[in-house]
Structure 1
Amino acid sequence: MPAQCRLDCDFPWAGQTAKEVVGAPAGTGRENKTPRIADDTMEALLAWVLVMIEEVGPDIRDAWHEYQQLEAGNHHSQARYTGTREERLREYLSYCRGHGFALPGHEGGDVNYGHIKRLIGIPKAHRQELTVPMLGLLADSGLPIAPFTGIGLITGQIHGRPWREHPITIGELPTLVRLLSAALFTAVCYLSGMRPGEVLNLRRGCRDADEKTGELLVHGFRGKGFDRVPDQPDVSEPLRPWVVVDVVHAAIALLEELHDLPLLFPSSLIQAHDQRPATVNARTGRAMNDDIQNLISWINSAYRRADSSAPIPADPAGRINATRYRRTLARFIVRKPRGLIAAALQYGHVHTKVTLSYAGYADPSWLHDIAVEKLELIIDHVEQDSQRLADGEHVSGPSADEYRARVERTASFEGRVVTSVGSVERLLEQMDPAIYHGQGMTCVWRAATAACRLAKLALGLPDDDAPDESECRSACANLAYTDRDIEDVQRRRERYWADAADPLAPKPRRDRAAAQATQLSGIIDRHHMQGVPGAAERTA
């Protein structure tokens, strides 16, 4: 280029960023702005994904296998047809008459000649137009014409009824295969915490299980890192594991049965582009996002709730895409199903797995979202606890005073600007009052006096710095009871009294129920005696 047309190789603007040049606020860029998927939307979507895995998916898989076998000419039903094309057609028409079958048709009422050629095993290279004698045979056969061309059988059920009234048609089969792949992607991506790109690049045979713990694993390549080579991930690092649940393994198993390609999510199962062959290319994130949206649209158009509303309600934040799964999972781990106790157990389990690093290269980045969600949950719980105490809620139990002190100390926090993951983690350490609301009790956690921890240590189990409700002991010094807890205890006591008075129950069971009801009555009585601050000391 001439000198006046050349670009200077030095960085312009004296090292200033573009925002600094125009005077725009720089910002921190650390805030995760990916919107979560609303609870109602995500719960409904996940429920339908499970239906696809358990009921609908196997029928689509079988129909797809049958179609491919018919297309390749190696289906067992094609063995009866031999000879010329006309001879094959005569045999087919005789078979249909003998079994009372209709000819495959189109919605307009015409015969589906292409599928008839496929059924009688005519190779693709010889599927030209039917001859006049063959058309005459079809016209004179007297066989009825079906309103569609079905393939496979419908065996799956939804609420006790077949998921559709008639078999899958040839025309809609490719679309259903694509939607099934989107449903299986959703199960793997959402329930594993993996990034969308990491899921799309999973290979056949990625399922595994830990020999020592029995934990289910999925092996893949990480999706981020300065030393990562996207086109050749195996060059920069070995496979790394993710701990998953059995639904993820079930989804991967169905994917491996759906096709025989090396990638679980190839570029296309129907007709891949020549420049991106399915044997070496995964489906793009944009295409998968479109597939997810089409899956939701198909479910909402094919099924309705009892009140005629859509099975999967629209999300207030807009279109569902795969990047939102990871963000939403963090909220569900922390918020459901049992508040902070469930969060502590799940978070502690995953954190332990990362700490042990499972060969040293696990990816803990999605736990940052969990830390933010846990911090928000703690703030919400402390605010509720503080308000209830101010409204006169009674607290009893050995840790009642400690409960009040921790709530009062933590409730005085007025907020702080958080700009990084490190800030969240430090703030979480300072803010966490270690108060866990469980079923009919509240744990004011202290490791030294925790009965569940001591029970685990006595059995030689690992020492977790979090309560384990399944090992909770009624004599634990960490317990406190709020009015909310006592309401739950009263409901349980009524059930036990009912079991104790059941004349049809065996006597040992009635005696056990009566003893449990009596024990709960003691908790309730002590609460009413010690609920007001200072009453326990005066009673003593």
Structure 2
Amino acid sequence: MTTPAAVSSFDGHSAVFAGTDVCREAGLALPGEANRPRFEDDIWDFTHVIGLPAQMARCTRRFDFAAITDARWRLVAKELVLAMLTPRHASVIPLPRAYRTALHLNTCAGRLGELTRFFAWLGDQKVPGLEQLDTRLCEAYLAHRRYVLDEHGAAVGEQSPATRRSAAQIVVDLVNYRELFTADRVPADLRPWGGATASAVAEMPCGRSQNKTAPVEDSVLQPMLAAALYLVSALGPHAVELAREVQETDRTSSCKAKGLRPAGPAPVAEFTNLLAEYERACTPLPMLAEHHIADRLADGWDPDDRLLPVATGVLARQAGASQFWSRWLPALRGPLEATLAVVGVEKVFGREVAKVRAADGASSLAWTLPLHRLEAVALVGIVRTAAITTLAAVSGMRASELMELRIGCRRPPEEPVPGLTRFRIASKVVKGQPLGGTEDEWVVVEPVYRAVELAEQLHGSPQDGALLFGRFAFDVRYRWFRNWVNSRSGQRLGLASIPDGPVNLRMLRRTLALEMAYRPGGVLASKIHLKHIAVATTEGYASRPGGAQAELLAEVNKHESDRNLGLILAEFRNYQQGILPAGPGARSLTEFFAHIDAKLDATAAKAPKTQRSDRDVLNLLTKRAKVLHLGPANYCWFTDPSRALCLKLAGTPTADHPLVGMCDSARCPQATHHPCHRPVWAEHAERTEIFLGQLGTTRKTERNRLQADHDRALRVVAEIDAASTTDEESA
């Protein structure tokens, strides 16, 4: 074991890691030609490390120790970071409170950033060395990082618990790795915050009891998802053509196009031929973007000049010149104005486009109005964001998994049985996996598969294996997407406005989990047939048990269990108030509630002053909650498979789950109806009555069938009304 030298003998070199190849010591693989960072370097560049996730920003791949001005503290920072990367180093193993698992480069970058801030703060406090660090200074730094300060140093807000934990963690790390440091060390007896963990010091809320991520509000989710699906399906193919048109125009008309001539005499002949071609084709001259028109006005152009909006630079490059020189204008003004009078001027892209059906189905109209180049690029980006939104909202993939998607990730569709197609996409699971991630596949529904296909077609350089999206900031992209949908362009297509509200990838994943758990209701269910999504997600286990989709379904099952407990508790409270269930299974459920109520009464008799909490009641209801399944118009209490009507009809009496899609709740002995189901049955009765009124007198068979269906719906509504009448109302 190498023992650090005493601090007093510091000579500018580390007593532990001097001359160390950082990547080799940390087990990080690099391409053969890449520069290898050494311990003495002030910048450790990990940009080319093999296996880094696409989600990791490039700035966090460069560790800049030069930002720490004090040479002693810079060495402390290097030793601390390398120790966190190499927990098996001979000098790190003996440290009793050192990490035993190597930290990720992303985590180490965050620690270095906080350490840099801490050393800068110590310098501002005129602290000469870490030996002077005491509990008071630790508390003062935590207070400094707790609040958001304005330019005058006044507190205007409070930082998140994660920021406070980062601040506390740096101090704890300096204590835990004290014996390793060569140049400077904290006092041996320093125990900040009484030895408490950084999470406890920061008052970090525990995430084990509940998921802190809120779902997307329904009022935001519905128009957002509708707009994304519309853009992918209706505008996607046209956006691909627009992107190709932009690429072709850039190739032939940009300043970097090959074969352009430098400055010279005015190319009158070339312009004459070019303008004649415009007139023969009746093509409008290219229009200049608004900000370039503003530049011309600032340079002294006459606002009434007819050539003010004409993109003369584009015309010059089409004529073979690198740019349009102002000295050419007197010679070319005549031909330009003559052609302008004949063909006019218009934006370059989207002049003659196909028509699409509006999102509201009211009309057919051009899928886009004419666009400038930047507007066309922006529209392609909006469609690309719609593909990302569809992917995230409907597949449940994490941000890191989306960013690992590559060109060619779509697996060929499979058809295990005729008429049933299975779609798969391949990516990597990064969270909780070793460097480089773990290959995984997602079974998805067709809208997701088509969204990936569209994203591949919109890729600027669609080479097989290239990152499909790479690293992207979804919050920024979503803000642009929402602004476009709410603009005149989106409203022209009949899209509903998206209200303000937070949306991020974590929220979309949580929303999908909740909507799956609370089916058959929910916005996603009505938009893209959520039952199919649930099946596709479940099929992911066959691909890789324990994979990313398995984790998502585990979260779904947790939410489903919570939902069932909440529903059965609400129905038990209704029973206590005299609001009873209806339907063939009502008697069995009422007897169960009576049995539970009797247990609670017996307990209360021994302790008359004790009020039973919901938790006590839930403990008694948990077993029945596990067999609750939601139908679109009933609750299914799947206690006995042999009595399930759906399984008898399907010929699978031993199945362990009901077939809710085949449920006939008016006849099944395990189905109940409740007040929440009344609107469904009432609407069904109303619609059936309308159909009956439209049938001719000769269609007796259909009339008899619909009449029976109508009578059944009315009977169910009457039963729900009768069972929902409380004793007070009947009195």
Q: TM-score, normalised by structure 1?
A: 0.74
Greater shift in the superposed pair: 251-260 or 382-391: 382-391
Amino acid at match of 2:223: A
Structure 2, unpaired ranges of 5+: 15-75, 81-91, 98-172, 178-190, 258-265, 294-307, 601-611, 727-731
Amino acid at match of 1:463: A
Residues 1:20 and 2:196 are matched in the alignment: yes
Candidates 375, 388, 407, aligned match of 2:574: 388
- 2:349 corresponding residue in structure 1: 150
Post-superposition offset of 1:42: 1.4
Candidates 244, 262, 284, aligned match of 1:65: 244
Post-superposition offset of 1:194: 0.6
- 1:402 corresponding residue in structure 2: 588
Candidates 504, 515, 518, aligned match of 1:332: 515
Quick one: distance in 2 between partners of 1:257 and 1:495? Answer: 44
Post-superposition offset of 1:157: 4.7
Amino acid at match of 1:42: L
- 2:315 corresponding residue in structure 1: 116
Amino acid at match of 2:398: R
Residues 21/502 of structure 1: CA separation in 2 closer, same or farther (3 Å cut): closer
Post-superposition offset of 1:20: 1.0
Runs of 4+ in 1 over 6 A off after TM superposition: 14-19, 408-413, 426-429, 524-533
Quick one: distance in 1 between partners of 2:579 and 2:615? Answer: 28
- 1:257 corresponding residue in structure 2: 457
- 2:108 corresponding residue in structure 1: none
Residues 1:296 and 2:478 are matched in the alignment: no
Post-superposition offset of 1:464: 4.7
Post-superposition offset of 1:389: 2.7
Contact 1:354 1:364 (C-alpha < 8 Å) held by counterparts: yes
Post-superposition offset of 1:415: 5.4
Amino acid at match of 1:385: E
Quick one: distance in 1 between partners of 2:378 and 2:563? Answer: 41
Greater shift in the superposed pair: 494-503 or 511-520: 494-503
- 1:192 corresponding residue in structure 2: 395
Quick one: distance in 2 between partners of 1:133 and 1:494? Answer: 76
- 2:147 corresponding residue in structure 1: none
Post-superposition offset of 1:45: 1.1
Residues 1:170 and 2:369 are matched in the alignment: no
Residues 365/138 of structure 1: CA separation in 2 closer, same or farther (3 Å cut): farther
- Structural mapping, 1:259-274, within 5 Å: 259=459, 261-262=461-462
- 1:38 corresponding residue in structure 2: 217
Residues 89/36 of structure 1: CA separation in 2 closer, same or farther (3 Å cut): same
Greater shift in the superposed pair: 355-364 or 244-253: 355-364
Quick one: distance in 2 between partners of 1:360 and 1:466? Answer: 25
Deviations 1:55-82 (A, max 9, x none): 333333222211211222499xx9xxxx
Amino acid at match of 2:247: Q
Post-superposition offset of 1:356: 3.7
Quick one: distance in 1 between partners of 2:656 and 2:253? Answer: 58
Candidates 448, 454, 466, aligned match of 1:248: 448
Residues 331/526 of structure 1: CA separation in 2 closer, same or farther (3 Å cut): closer
Candidates 435, 438, 449, aligned match of 2:631: 438
Candidates 604, 625, 642, aligned match of 1:448: 642
Structure showing greater relative contact order (alpha-carbon pairs closer than 8 Å, 6 or more residues apart): 1
Match of 2:415, SS?
coil
Greater shift in the superposed pair: 487-496 or 63-72: 487-496
Deviations 1:185-231 (A, max 9, x none): 1111111111112112212222232331522221221222333x33x
- 2:706 corresponding residue in structure 1: 513
Residues 357/247 of structure 1: CA separation in 2 closer, same or farther (3 Å cut): closer
Contact 1:375 1:428 (C-alpha < 8 Å) held by counterparts: no
- 2:277 corresponding residue in structure 1: 95
Match of 1:477, SS?
coil
- 2:331 corresponding residue in structure 1: 136
Match of 1:455, SS?
helix
Give the CA RMSD over aligned residues: 4.5
Quick one: distance in 1 between partners of 2:532 and 2:620? Answer: 20
Match of 1:241, SS?
strand
Residues 359/263 of structure 1: CA separation in 2 closer, same or farther (3 Å cut): farther
Quick one: distance in 1 between partners of 2:484 and 2:566? Answer: 38
Quick one: distance in 1 between partners of 2:249 and 2:530? Answer: 53
Amino acid at match of 1:386: F
Post-superposition offset of 1:3: 2.7
Post-superposition offset of 1:326: 0.9
Amino acid at match of 1:58: P
Amino acid at match of 1:143: T
Greater shift in the superposed pair: 349-358 or 405-414: 405-414
Contact 1:59 1:153 (C-alpha < 8 Å) held by counterparts: no
Quick one: distance in 1 between partners of 2:686 and 2:380? Answer: 52
Post-superposition offset of 1:27: 5.4
Quick one: distance in 2 between partners of 1:356 and 1:245? Answer: 16
Greater shift in the superposed pair: 463-472 or 175-184: 463-472
Amino acid at match of 1:192: S
Quick one: distance in 1 between partners of 2:586 and 2:275? Answer: 84
Post-superposition offset of 1:146: 2.1
Quick one: distance in 1 between partners of 2:533 and 2:282? Answer: 61
Quick one: distance in 2 between partners of 1:205 and 1:434? Answer: 42
Deviations 1:129-173 (A, max 9, x none): 459668734542412252644345443453425467731211322
Residues 139/44 of structure 1: CA separation in 2 closer, same or farther (3 Å cut): same
Residues 1:219 and 2:426 are matched in the alignment: yes
- 2:664 corresponding residue in structure 1: 472
Quick one: distance in 1 between partners of 2:648 and 2:530? Answer: 17
Residues 332/116 of structure 1: CA separation in 2 closer, same or farther (3 Å cut): farther
Post-superposition offset of 1:353: 2.5
Contact 2:519 2:630 (C-alpha < 8 Å) held by counterparts: no
Residues 100/49 of structure 1: CA separation in 2 closer, same or farther (3 Å cut): same
Q: TM-score, normalised by structure 2?
A: 0.57
Structure 1, unpaired ranges of 5+: 79-83, 267-278, 418-423, 534-540
Contact 2:351 2:369 (C-alpha < 8 Å) held by counterparts: no
Residues 1:370 and 2:373 are matched in the alignment: no
Amino acid at match of 2:392: C
Quick one: distance in 2 between partners of 1:205 and 1:476? Answer: 48
Greater shift in the superposed pair: 2-11 or 212-221: 2-11
- 1:55 corresponding residue in structure 2: 234
Greater shift in the superposed pair: 329-338 or 182-191: 329-338
Residues 294/188 of structure 1: CA separation in 2 closer, same or farther (3 Å cut): same
- 2:102 corresponding residue in structure 1: none
Match of 2:243, SS?
helix
Residues 59/117 of structure 1: CA separation in 2 closer, same or farther (3 Å cut): farther
Contact 1:35 1:324 (C-alpha < 8 Å) held by counterparts: yes
Residues 118/330 of structure 1: CA separation in 2 closer, same or farther (3 Å cut): farther
Quick one: distance in 2 between partners of 1:502 and 1:119? Answer: 65
Contact 1:151 1:167 (C-alpha < 8 Å) held by counterparts: yes
Post-superposition offset of 1:391: 3.8
Amino acid at match of 2:506: T
Residues 517/289 of structure 1: CA separation in 2 closer, same or farther (3 Å cut): closer
Deviations 1:246-275 (A, max 9, x none): 2112211211222363579x9xxxxxxxxx
Contact 1:445 1:467 (C-alpha < 8 Å) held by counterparts: no
Quick one: distance in 2 between partners of 1:132 and 1:468? Answer: 78
Quick one: distance in 1 between partners of 2:664 and 2:623? Answer: 26
Residues 415/429 of structure 1: CA separation in 2 closer, same or farther (3 Å cut): same
Quick one: distance in 2 between partners of 1:255 and 1:495? Answer: 42
Residues 1:3 and 2:6 are matched in the alignment: yes
Greater shift in the superposed pair: 462-471 or 253-262: 462-471
